[in-house]
Amino acid sequence: MKKLTTILFLLIIALLATACGSKAEAAPESAPEEAAKAPDIADAPDAPGAGQPFPGADGVTSLQLNPASGGGTGRLAYISDQDGNSEIYTVSADGTNLVNLTNNPAEDVAPVYSPDGQKLLFISNRDGAYNIFVMNADGSDPINLTPGPAFDGPAVWSPDGSQIAFASDMDGNNEIYTMNADGSNIVRLTTNEDYDGDLAWSPAGDLIAFASDRDGGLNLYVMGADGSNPARLTFTDGDNGQPAWSPDGSRIAYVSSRDGFYKIYTIDPDGSNEVNVTKEDTLDLFPAWSPDGSYIAFNSQRTGGMELFAVTPDGSQMTMITYSAPNETDPVWQP
Ligand SMILES: [Ca+2]
Ligand SMILES: [Ca+2]
Ligand SMILES: [Ca+2]
């Protein structure tokens, strides 16, 4: 039986499907070729409301980001339903230059940049089931790494880019696996009848953080990258999931609903020093660190619809990246 706690990843798909009012059909065979046309960033439109100051609340100071603010290329990938189904877009950190990378009538979700920033993993149901795809960072050459009927994803890279860790129900319930970057040599890391997913590979390569309901509610765990020595980090009511390692490996950002609302928290990898970063009673999801560790991007419903935000890790300063009618979710910063 599928437990309610498996929804952290599925939630975003449900939100987007509800928002566009219909379930997407599998894409025609020609769709990958359409996505192979690299979009031109120079002519790309800006996010509606880009650069608007965040309407501050509870002592949070409004912040203005420019594309150089967080390090890396200054670009973020995210999911938008503005074309009627979920697509992977990119945007500059100041909300300018929107580019649709997927252009596919199927659902395209869960973008994750490779450590060198040159490729993106994502999840799509364009071939029927939700499978793990890799494409170039400009949207060209999408390849299905896990064809077949299982629900695969999300997926993340090892820090050296040689391997991919991912979740899948191929063995009957959600487990965590690794495989080579070309989809070969699948190795199973977890074996139990409970949900294991929401994974993130540590920058040093030795640990994988993940969420599991093996002890009851959904909680955060870390284990060796070979599946050894799982250790529980959170002991709270509600769901704890969607971990993201800070670039220096010293902190894990994650989502917790311990007080009834999904908010962003951070914690040390040994489970100490929990900090509540976003405090408003709303829906905050999908934390992702900027390459220099200065900001945590996330999506939030605090202004009504789903928008992208960035916040300093101490929660004191926040900015809106998008302000629009469509739903923008699941931001990840390009290295
Ligand atoms: Ca799509
Ligand atoms: Ca399991
Ligand atoms: Ca929006």
Ligand 1 centroid–CA 219 distance in Å is 31
Give the whole-angstrom CA distance, residue 296 versus residue 245: 11
Ligand 2 centroid–CA 190 distance in Å is 6
Sheet of 252-256, strand order: 240-245, 252-256, 263-267, 275-276
**3-state SS assignment for residue 13:** helix
Q: Look at residue 50 in the predicted model and tell me its pLDDT.
A: 72
Ligand 1 centroid–CA 162 distance in Å is 27
Ligand 2 centroid–CA 20 distance in Å is 31
Q: Look at residue 32 in the predicted model and tell me its pLDDT.
A: 43
Sequential DSSP letters for 45-63: PPPTTTTPPP---TTPEE-
The ligand placed nearest to the CA atom of residue 86 is: 1
Say if CB 263 and CB 255 are below 8 A apart. yes
Ligand 2 centroid–CA 80 distance in Å is 30
Ligand 2 centroid–CA 250 distance in Å is 27
Say if CB 133 and CB 120 are below 8 A apart. no
Ligand 3 centroid–CA 194 distance in Å is 34
**3-state SS assignment for residue 8:** helix
Give the whole-angstrom CA distance, residue 291 versus residue 73: 9
Sequential DSSP letters for 248-300: TSS-EEEEE-TTSSBEEEEE-TTS---EE---SSSBEEEEEE-TTSS-EEEEE
Query: Average pLDDT by consecutive 10-residue portion of the chain (335 residues)?
Result: 44 46 38 49 76 68 87 97 95 93 97 98 97 98 97 98 98 97 98 97 98 96 98 97 98 97 98 96 97 97 93 94 93 98
Please identify every residue whose CB atom is under 5 Å from ligand 2, which is an ion. 173, 175, 192, 196
The ligand placed nearest to the CA atom of residue 101 is: 1
Tell me: the pLDDT tens digits for 168-211?
999 999 999 999 999 999 999 999 999 999 999 999 999 999 99
Question: DSSP code of 98?
Answer: -
Chain mean position to CA 14: 15
Ligand 3 centroid–CA 328 distance in Å is 5
Q: What's the CATH fold of domain 4-333?
A: Neuraminidase (2.120.10)
Q: Look at residue 22 in the predicted model and tell me its pLDDT.
A: 36
Ligand 1 centroid–CA 54 distance in Å is 29
Q: Look at residue 299 in the predicted model and tell me its pLDDT.
A: 97
Ligand 2 centroid–CA 107 distance in Å is 25
Give the whole-angstrom CA distance, residue 105 versus residue 113: 22
The ligand placed nearest to the CA atom of residue 122 is: 1
The ligand placed nearest to the CA atom of residue 26 is: 1
Per residue, what are the HEC states of 170-200? CCCCCEEEEEECCCCCCEECCCCCCCEEEEE
Count of C-beta atoms within a 10 Å radius of residue 270: 9
pTM: 0.89
Tell me: the pLDDT tens digits for 106-147?
999 999 999 999 999 999 999 999 999 999 999 999 999 999
The ligand placed nearest to the CA atom of residue 188 is: 2
Task: Give the side-chain half-sphere CA count within 13 A for 228.
Answer: 4
The ligand placed nearest to the CA atom of residue 52 is: 3
Ligand 3 centroid–CA 84 distance in Å is 13
Q: Tell me the domain boundaries of the chain.
A: 4-333
Q: Look at residue 33 in the predicted model and tell me its pLDDT.
A: 45
The ligand placed nearest to the CA atom of residue 124 is: 1
Count of C-beta atoms within a 10 Å radius of residue 330: 29
Ligand 2 centroid–CA 244 distance in Å is 20
Give the whole-angstrom CA distance, residue 221 versus residue 234: 7
307 - beta bridge partners? Answer: 300
Ligand 2 centroid–CA 216 distance in Å is 13
Ligand 3 centroid–CA 106 distance in Å is 20
Ligand 2 centroid–CA 168 distance in Å is 9
Ligand 2 centroid–CA 89 distance in Å is 31
